[in-house]
Structure formats: C-alpha cells, structure tokens
Amino acid sequence: MPGGAPLNLRSFLWRGENVFPDSEIVSRTHQGIHRYTIAEYAERVRKLASALEQAGIERGDRVGTFAWNNHWHQEAYYGVACMGAQVHMINLLLPDEHIQHIVADAEDEILIVDPVMLEKLEGAYDEEAFDSVEQYIVMGDTVPETSLEPVVDYESFIADGDPDYSFPQLPEDQPAGMCYTSGTTGKPKGVEYTQKMYWTQVMSLMTSEAGIKTDDVELTYVPMFHVSGWCRPFTTIAAGAKTVLPGPNPSAEDLAKLIEEEDVTVSAAVPTVFMDLLEYARESDVDFSSVRYFTSGGSATPRSLMEDYKQEFDVDLISGYGMTETSPVTHAYEPKPGMTDLPEEELFDLRSHSAGLPIAGLEFKVVNTDGEEVPWDGESLGELWMRGPWVTQEYYNAPDATEQAVTDDGWFKTGDIVRVSPEGYVDVVDRMDDLVKSGGEWIASVEVENAVMGHDEVVEAAVVPVPHERWDERPAAFVVTRDAVSDEAALRQEIKDLVAESYPSWWVPDAIRLVDGIPKGATGKFSKQTLRDEYVDESVIETVAENAPAT
C-alpha cells in the first residue's frame, strides 16, 4: 500500500541518539545534580525497555510513574512508550482517593516511584485499588524502607537490560501514554495518547518560533506528571536540545540557579510559577540573559506579569493553551507578520488576552448554545471545539463522558468559553460549567473575578452562579481581603462600582461575601464546585434574591 511508515516516537529517539549524541541532560535529583548525554540516555532507555520486557510487560500494558522531573522519569517516557507499553503519569498532587481511582482504572502493572514521593504513595496505597501492581521500582540505586512490595531500585532493575534492545515497529494507533484530567468536578477521567498523537504533537511543538529548537536549552519545569509534561520531554530529544530537569518540588531559587548555571533559553510553566520566580528575581537580581522566551499556560497569564518580565528583565513571557484531552498544546501566542510594528501597549493587550493562534495541523470552531458557529469578531462568545491528530476522540473507560464531549464527526468539545479576534487570536473567557447563565445570557465568571481583583484590598476572588427564580442564575462573589475590613458595606459598594465600570450592570454580583480563603483543587485552580456546594447557602441565595435586577 502507498503511504509511509507508521508515526512513532522511536524515530525521535533515533534522531536524538544518532544526530545529537553529545547534547546534555542535566537532572536535579534527591541525590544532587546528575549529568549525561543523549547517547547515554538512549542506551539506558533501551536497557529499561528490555528489563520491562523481561519483567513480563507486554504490548498495551501500563507502567505508571509517580515522580518529579528527573532523568529516570524521562527515561521512562521513551522506554515504556517505544517498547509498546503505555506510560501512565500519575499526578502527585491529587488526593489519595483520586490516586486510588486512577491506579485501579488504568490497571498499572508497575509503578516507578520517586523516592521523595514514596511516603505519599504509601499513604494512598489501598490493597484493592493497587491490586494490579506487581512491582514497585524506586528511582535511584537504593531501596528506602517502605511498606510497598515487591520493590526494587531502578538501577538494579535495569542492570541486566539489553543496551542493544531493538524497538518494535508499532502501529501508529498503539496507545503510548496516559494521563487523567484533574477534573474539578467528579472523578478524574483517563485520556490515552497514541504514538500518532505524541508524534504529531511533538512535530507541532517544533514548528513555531515559540517551539523548541536544536540550539535551545530547555528547562522542563512543567511537571512530567501533568499532561506528559506538555510533551516537552519528548520534544527536546527529537530536537537534540539540551535538557534541564529541576527535580523534586523546585523552588524559585532552584529554578533561578539552573537558569543561570545552565544557560537556559526556554521554559514553560503555569503563571504562578512565573510569579514566584519574578519575586525571587527582583530580590536576587537573577541573570536572565540566556532566555529566549518563557511560555505560560494552564490558566490565564496576567498582563502585569508579562509587562514586568519585559520591562525589568527583557524576558518575553508568552501564552500557550491546551488541555489534557489535546495532548495538550493547541494554541501558542506569536505576533502575525506586520504586527511587530504595533505599539508595545497594543501588543501586551493582545498577548494578555490571548491563548494564541492555532498551531498548524488542527482545526477549531466556536459554537453557541444553538450549535451554530459564532463569528470571529472579538466579542461573540461560544464553546471552543477542536479537531486534529493530537486531539482525543475518546475518554478511557467512560463512554458517557465520551458521548458528551465528542461529536459524530470527531470534534472535541473543550468546555472552554472563548471569543476569537478577527485576526484569529483565541481569548479563553471561562469554563462552560462556571459561566453564570442569567436570563438566557452568559456572564463570564473569570472576567468578573479579574475585575473584582482589581480592587486594592482584594487578593483573591471567585464568582459562582447562585440559583434565582426569575433569571435562573445570578452571580455571587467570594472575596479574600489583604487586611481586616472595617466597613464591609463600603467595600462591597466599591467592588460593585469597579465591576460596573467595565461590564454591563447585570454582570455585577448580587452578593459579595468575605471569606478567609478560596477552596482550591489539585492543580491550584479555584474549586468552583466546592464553592457552589458548600459556600452558597440559604443566606447567599436570599441576598442574591434581594439585590438581583428587577428587569
């Protein structure tokens, strides 16, 4: 038949090993800094694959990881996936019951564990949920005292592996990886990544200016336990770039030191990481001169953060966008030709209101509640639907969720509400579930939150829908202030005025409650479900009823 060979990760490992054998991988571990080359890496990857085969792992089996970003973890990425098994990265930050659900659902046969996370895993252990696990492998060359068994250290496990192990030619639909959504509502759902999904995502991560290039030094901050580390651990090998892995729970100081000492050029993380790093950099005068750009994703990046990095350190902080179901990256910010001449103010405006342009190779559309496409006018809101080779078309073991999320013609409904500028820049406004549906119209909770947080006294704010007889739903705001407040009524009025300055009057919250803190989920995002279930009580409903607009 015509048509080329199946898409597979093996080709990337081949390229890294043969064309860029001397590129370095620098790994901060519990034992200190470890350095080796891609050539050494690849040999160990083959030993791991061979040892897994000897241990009985077969095509389609799952090998779980429970670890920070280190070289053992990166070895597991290629080693497990290229031998035909599936590397399942378990999110360290999940509550025990979610970990139990995930291990049981994925039926992991082996778990490869970071020694610094051993205690956490022991705590999450449940005999029934962990029934499938036949072997625990602890990264490093010693086995700490542990209740988990049977257990072996990683170095002993791969010692007899074959350094000349030959990877099979796999079909491109072979599942190669797996992650679970950190769903703020309900149990995490599994997403499988095939060889093709990884291959196409990795190629796409090399296409744009904001990609990873051969002469880059990538600080892989994005946790490898979080959506395949945004596929950057696969991409650095394919590109032959130098990789820096920051290890267990890195602090801003750890990151700054690695950036300075290893001449880091690119990195990606969630906005809070860059906030902490900025604060540290200001105190300690960090040298960012090697940096080409930082990508901020996972949630909206404040404009002020982008401006501060640029003005104080001449570092470009740009947005990326994606989700567990999309492998994950689908959009990245870059200015279009001609735009580079725009005034800096306008560019920051665009940057901060943009998840970016769609990466080549996929399609999207924005759909309203009637199922119709809305125009790219910078105003019309709708749900983002995506389709492409690295966008999933199925949740694992969850046919109902799949049916809800995937259309017959292969569109994945992201559940994100967006508007698109005439130039094609996507602005993520809210989660569909978090929108306040007031009188048939949508109020974007995230935008109201940002307006509320514009008040000097407010450090955190979350807006959720409250049931209302006439309007169906109305917004209520939960607010954390910097200091104790003497005149609550005055503060409420100031907040309402602030929202009314930027948005229609019917977007103004009808109830504002001061709280000590906003409940958060495993990835640090607000848990709106907890707020709706536990914070929206009779008294909030009454306040809303009193203050809601009459017409």
Given 120, 413, 437, 525, which residue is catalytic? 437
**Residue of 147, 169, 368, 502 interacting with a second copy (CB under 8 A):** 169
Q: How far is the CB of 238 from a second copy (least distance, A)?
A: 5
Active site residue 213: no
In the residue annotation, 442 being an active-site residue is answered as yes
Q: Report if residue 166 touches a second copy, rule: CB under 8 A.
A: no
What is the separation, in whole angstroms, between the first and last Cα of the chain? 67
Q: Name which position in 376, 398, 498, 503 contacts a second copy (CB under 8 A).
A: 376
CA proximity to 317, closest of 368, 358, 364, 272: 272
Q: Distances from the Cα of 241 to the Cαs of 134, 171, 220, 291, 319, in angstroms?
A: 36, 27, 12, 14, 22
Q: Is 407 a catalytic residue?
A: no
Query: Smallest distance, Å, CB 507 to a second copy?
Result: 30
Q: CB of residue 2 vs a second copy: minimum separation in angstroms?
A: 4
> Of 15-23, 37-45, 222-230, 467-475, which part binds a second copy (CB under 8 A)?
15-23
* DSSP assignment string, 263-297: T--EEEE-HHHHHHHHHHHHHHT---TT--EEEE-
The 8 Å CB, 24+ separation contacts for 392-396 are 392/191, 392/192, 392/193, 392/197, 392/325, 392/326, 392/327, 394/192, 395/189, 395/190, 395/191, 396/105, 396/106, 396/178, 396/189, 396/190, 396/191, 396/192
| Binding characters for a second copy, 177-206, by CB under 8 A (x = yes) | --------------xxxx-xx-xx-xxx-x
Residue count, binding to a second copy (CB under 8 A) = 66
- Alpha-carbon distance of 20 to 39, in angstroms, equals 8
Helix (H) or strand (E) holding 36: strand 32-37
Q: How far apart are CA 171 and CA 232, in angstroms?
A: 23
| Least distance from a second copy to the Cβ atom of residue 480, Å | 39
Q: Which is nearer to a second copy, 263 or 441 (CB)?
A: 263
207 binds a second copy (CB under 8 A): yes
The rounded distance, in Å, linking the Cα atoms of 329 and 501 is 35
Q: Does 12 bind a second copy (CB under 8 A)?
A: yes
220 flagged as catalytic: no
How many helices (H) and strands (E) the chain has is answered by 17, 25
Q: Which stretch binds a second copy (CB under 8 A): 165-173, 307-315, 455-463, 537-545?
A: 165-173
Q: Does 397 bind a second copy (CB under 8 A)?
A: no
Phi, psi of 64 (to 5 degrees): -90, 150
CB of 105 to a second copy, least distance (A): 14
Work out whether the CA dihedral 331, 336, 341, 342 comes out positive or negative. Answer: negative
Active-site annotation holder among 72, 385, 390, 442: 442
Tell me the Cα Rg of the chain.
24
Closer residue to a second copy (CB): 182 or 200: 200
- β-strands 242-245, 24-29 pairing: parallel
Smallest distance, a second copy to C-beta of residue 244, A:
15
Which residues of the chain form contacts with a second copy (CB under 8 A)? 1-7, 10-12, 14-15, 18-20, 23, 169, 172-173, 175, 191-194, 196-197, 199-200, 202-204, 206-207, 209, 211, 213-215, 238-240, 242, 327, 334, 336-337, 357-358, 360-363, 376, 387-394, 396, 409-410, 423-424
Catalytic residues: 181, 325, 437, 442
